Amino acid sequence: MALDKLHPGLYRYNDESYFLNAYNELINIPGDSISLENAFLKVSEFLAKIKCGHTYANPYNQNENIAEVILNGKNKLPFTFKLIGKEIVIVNDVSGENIGKGSKVFEINGNPVERIIDDLLKYSDGDGSNEGQRLNNLNVSGFGDYEFFDIYFPLLVPPVEGKYELEYNNLWSRAGSLGASVIAISRDERRSRLEREYGLKQESYDEQWKFEIFDKNSALLRIGTFVTYQMKLDWKKFLADSFGELNKQSIPNLIIDIRGNSGGTTGVAAEIVSYLIAEPIDVLMEKRLVRYVKVPEVLDPYLSTWDNSFKDRTGTVEIYDDIYYSLKEETNNVNVINPKENPYPGNIYLLVDAANSSATFILAKTLKENGLATLVGQTTGGNQKGINGGQLMFLDLPNTGIEVDIPLIGYFPSGNPPDAGLEPDVKISESVKDFANEIDAEMNYVLDQIRSSESGD
* Domains recognised in the chain with CATH numbers: 72-198 (2.30.42.10), 206-455 (3.90.226.10)
* DSSP single-letter state for residue 61: G
Going by their DSSP bridges, the two strands 111-112 and 163-169 should be labelled as unpaired
Residue-level pLDDT at 456: 66
Give φ, ψ of 338 to 5 degrees: -95, 145
* DSSP single-letter state for residue 203: P
As a whole number of angstroms, the distance between CA 71 and CA 274 comes to 42
Among 330, 439, 392, 441, which residue's Cα sits nearest to residue 3? 392
As a whole number of angstroms, the distance between CA 42 and CA 44 comes to 5
Whole-model pTM: value is 0.92
Residue-level pLDDT at 132: 95
Residue-level pLDDT at 1: 79
As a whole number of angstroms, the distance between CA 316 and CA 312 comes to 9
Asked if residue 422 lies in contact with residue 384, where contact means CB atoms within 8 angstroms, the answer is yes
Among 124, 146, 130, 117, which residue's Cα sits nearest to residue 44? 124
Residues 6+ apart with CB under 8 A from 439: 431, 433
CA distances to 147, 209, 252, 259 from 274, in Å = 34, 18, 18, 21
Average pLDDT across each block of 10 residues of the chain; the chain has 457 residues. List them in order: 94 92 88 88 97 96 95 97 97 96 97 98 96 96 96 98 97 84 98 98 97 98 97 98 98 98 92 97 82 96 96 95 87 73 98 95 95 98 92 95 96 92 97 93 98 80
Residue-level pLDDT at 173: 76
As a whole number of angstroms, the distance between CA 76 and CA 155 comes to 11
The CA angle 151-155-158, to the nearest 5 degrees, is 110
Asked if residue 351 lies in contact with residue 377, where contact means CB atoms within 8 angstroms, the answer is yes
